[in-house]
Amino acid sequence: MAIRPILEAPDPRLRVKSVPVDTVDDDLRALIADMFETMYDAPGIGLAAVQIGVPKRVLVIDLQEQEGEDGERIREPRVFINPELSDPAEDKSVYNEGCLSVPDQYADVERPVAIQARWLDEDGVQHDERIEGMLATCLQHEMDHLEGVLFIDHLSKLKRDMVLKKLEKARKLRRAA
């Protein structure tokens, strides 16, 4: 397992549409292990393979919503290979989203509160499930990455430009330090 560098906007590789996975094998499972290690280290709750420069239709999510008795977040890692979303709920929710590829920037994004999802897990087992709540929001956010879309693309041009300016300013400050 290895922590891999996360691409940051406006890197053009984040705009590449990811290709389907043909085979679920040990190489893919090694990529998934690297993705989890990278996501946890960042720290984040979701990561698409394209964010580490691998344009394959793979994403990992761990909401870590509950805490154990020791105060540590309980890990519940989920893997989505070749995910497909359908049947979005008419009801929407707004969540203040962030992204590891747009570090330290957040904005309200409206998405359906529930979606139907089909995917393969790391063992190649197919799943078909109605997903709602925070997991639905996160899955839709990560699915956008597989299509070359960032959460800031859901914002007005003015807000998107402001976020990108703040990101560039933070990048310059990091380089100067």
Catalytically active residues are 142
Tokens for 24? 């679920």
Give the gyration radius of the chain's Cα atoms: 16
Q: What is the dihedral of CA 138, 139, 142, 145, to 10 degrees?
A: -130
Instruction: Go through the chain and tell me how many residues it has.
Output: 177
φ, ψ (nearest 5 deg) of residue 162: -65, -45
Q: Which CA distances in Å does 156 have to 112, 124, 149?
A: 19, 39, 14
**Is residue 170 packed enough to be buried (19+ CB in 10 Å), middle (13-18) or exposed (0-12)?**
middle
